[in-house]
């Protein structure tokens, strides 16, 4: 997949520097330009190919939301602001994500991983391109971004502020909430079975009334998730196990 061309519209120099630094760390993002106000960005957007905008809300000359309404065919938008009350308005305008300042890098990665998936959906690939770029996400591990192919993930476990991603070949520990990674993972491939566990549907070897088994490891099914898990798994032709 080609790089994703992005711009920043942000009037706070420190906030802009943080975004610029984050973007530099992501292999598939290409920062083309930063603007202090939306009016200055209009001419650029008219003439240059732009895939997405990191857009602040409180901007000089024009509010970020008002600016967004002026765009007939806007690129993908990730809103950045210190004011939580703008979140609902942002989603009404079909923004991709909403980042609340100060922005943590782990939360930034969730947004751009989501961005990558959205742009990939609208791209026509040849068979060679699909083989070369299987569905994957990037995770921050030991100050570097690690590519993880979705087909390799066995399970994801919540460890308070961190998650542990177990794959067929390694284990990755990264600072992120399990609810955040759940939003990014496709529901057709993964299922939440416990407040602390998400598992790959395809990697489930067996399941009982209380556990699923993956590669010989038993992972508990939470009480509040039990009915949903059974309905989902039995819907693809498996029999509901007897409960003792």
Domains of the chain: 4-121 (3.40.50.2300), 134-234 (2.40.50.1020)
Closest to 6 in 3D by CA, of 71, 90, 75, 69: 75
Closest to 141 in 3D by CA, of 105, 186, 99, 98: 105
Compute the Cα dihedral for 67, 44, 115, 125 and give only its sign. Answer: positive
pTM over 0.75: no
Closest to 229 in 3D by CA, of 243, 212, 242: 212
Phi-psi map region of 112: left, alpha, beta (phi>0 left; psi -120 to 50 alpha): alpha
Whether the upstream peptide bond of residue 103 has omega within 30° of 0, thus cis, is no
* Residue 221 contacts residue 207 (beta carbons within 8 Å): yes
Would you write out the chain's pLDDT as a tens digit for each of its 244 residues? Answer: 578 999 999 999 999 999 999 999 999 999 999 999 998 898 899 889 999 999 998 888 888 888 888 888 889 999 998 876 655 454 456 788 888 889 999 899 999 998 888 877 654 333 333 334 578 888 888 878 888 999 999 999 999 889 999 999 899 999 989 998 998 888 889 999 999 999 999 999 999 989 999 999 999 999 999 998 988 888 655 444 555 4
In order of 69, 104, 224, 229, the CA distances from 239 in angstroms are 51, 44, 20, 12
What's CA 244's distance to the chain center, in Å? Answer: 39
């Amino acid at each position: 997949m080609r790089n994703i061309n992005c711009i920043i519209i942000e009037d706070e120099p420190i906030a802009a520097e943080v975004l610029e630094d984050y973007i530099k760390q992501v292999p598939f993002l290409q920062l083309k330009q930063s603007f202090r106000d939306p009016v200055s960005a209009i001419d650029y957007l008219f003439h240059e190919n732009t895939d997405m905008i990191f857009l602040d809300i409180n901007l000089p000359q024009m509010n970020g939301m008002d600016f967004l309404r002026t765009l007939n065919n806007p690129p993908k938008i990730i809103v950045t602001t210190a004011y939580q009350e703008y979140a609902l308005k942002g989603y009404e305008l079909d923004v991709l994500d909403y980042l609340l300042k100060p922005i943590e890098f782990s939360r930034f990665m969730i947004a751009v991983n989501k961005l990558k998936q959205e742009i990939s959906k609208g791209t026509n690939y040849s068979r060679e391109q699909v083989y070369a770029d299987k569905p994957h996400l990037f995770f921050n591990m030991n100050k570097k971004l690690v590519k993880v192919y979705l087909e390799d993930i066995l399970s994801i476990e919540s460890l308070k502020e961190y998650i542990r991603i177990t794959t067929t070949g390694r284990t990755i520990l990264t600072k992120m909430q399990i609810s955040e990674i759940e939003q990014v993972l496709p529901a057709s491939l993964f299922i939440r079975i416990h407040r602390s566990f998400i598992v790959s549907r395809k990697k489930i070897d067996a399941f009982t009334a209380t556990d699923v088994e993956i590669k010989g490891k038993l992972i508990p099914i939470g009480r509040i998730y039990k009915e949903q898990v059974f309905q989902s798994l039995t819907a693809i032709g498996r029999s509901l196990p007897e409960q003792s």
